Amino acid sequence: MQASSRPEPTTYLIFSLCTVNPVDMSKAGAFDLASGLGGKIEKDDVLSAVDKYEKYHSDFGGAEEDRKANYTDMVNKYYDLVTSFYEYGWGESFHFAPRWKGESLRESIKRHEHFLALQLGLKPGHKVLDVGCGIGGPLREIARFSSTSVMGINNNEYQITRGKALNRVAGVDQTCDFTKADFMKMPFSENSFDAVYAIEATCHAPDAVGCYKEIFRVLKPGQSFAAYEWCMTDAFDPNNQEHQKIKAEIEIGDGLPDIRSTRQCLAALKEAGFEVIWEKDLAIDSPLPWYLPLDTSHFSLSSFRLTAVGRFITKNMVMGLEYVGFAPKGSQRVQSFLEKAAEGLVAGGKKEIFTPMYFFLARKPQ
């Protein structure tokens, strides 16, 4: 019998065990990825969780109304399923950034976070809120950059557990913490924070006005809220089937009930009571495309795991991990819808119908 020319999954597994993520050292290899797959979901329940998550989306018969009505369950399932993949491939900060020529992905991400801190005018002693904080990469960076205390709010237990461990490693556990709660119903008193920010997170909210009103409530009068929002741009045509397909791919691959337009976000801010100081799609002036790390035609050693070769290796590694029982059944399905999301993001970026960095700075009146 002729031997197969295709390498066995274990070949990729051995290679990946030795492959370090150059973007961030928080999780180094395949066993770390496998141990985190599924988050707080029991290993035997991951496959059914994938089924339930997929059924929320249009490709599987789901409706926008159902995603909005069940956003807590949908988003929690999403982050339980994907956080380990995100950290393995992207590092501790799960967001995009404008990028200069000659600048690494990691450098651009840090600069993007520093820009937010500078726009908010953060000063030592300020009490800051990170809305939808993930595992706290931006939280830690901004706290160290500005000498502030940052509270992250997140409704996913696995991400909070992971974030607290990383806070201890970074030595910021005395000034930074997490609260497990829904950012649509925050457990904070009125006028609690000197500044609030959100990085590619409030796109998960089922209602932008309700989300911004809650942020308005906990922010002190005269202080600012800044965010990077995922939005469809004015170039998006809701009657264009290709545009709708791209939008749907981003929604299923990124746990979104619906992607709002930049105009809708701006109107929601004003309806919530904010004064908008300035706003702009920062993707427009980025010297390098924001989607470059996901573009399969691009190769980079500094972000190897995001390249076509790196993703091919990850795909086969996950297949191998699932085959030998290290990763739960359903892991390949998660990797598959993340691939679909990457394709949608690149297509949306190239057609300029989608941006992950619609920036605004808004103030709560005195």
Residue 340 tokens read as: 């679909």
Q: Which own/partner pairs from 181-184 qualify as long-range (CB within 8 Å, at least 24 positions apart)?
A: 181/153, 181/154, 181/155, 182/72, 182/155, 183/131, 183/132, 183/153, 183/155, 183/211, 183/214, 183/215, 184/210, 184/211, 184/214
How far is Cα 158 from Cα 66, in angstroms, rounded to an integer? 24
Q: Which two tokens stand for residue 144?
A: 């160290």
What global pTM score does this model have?
A: 0.86
How do strand 193-199 and strand 354-363 relate by DSSP bridges?
unpaired
H/E stretch holding 342 reads helix 331-350
Per-residue pLDDT for the chain (366 aa), expressed as one digit of tens each? Answer: 334 333 333 323 323 333 334 344 444 455 566 566 667 778 787 888 778 888 887 776 788 888 988 878 888 888 888 888 888 888 899 999 999 999 999 999 999 999 999 999 999 999 999 999 999 999 999 999 999 999 999 999 999 999 999 999 999 999 999 999 999 999 999 999 999 999 999 999 999 999 999 999 999 999 999 999 999 999 999 999 999 999 999 998 888 999 999 999 999 999 999 999 999 999 999 999 999 999 988 666 556 666 777 777 777 777 787 777 777 788 888 888 788 889 999 999 999 999 999 999 999 999
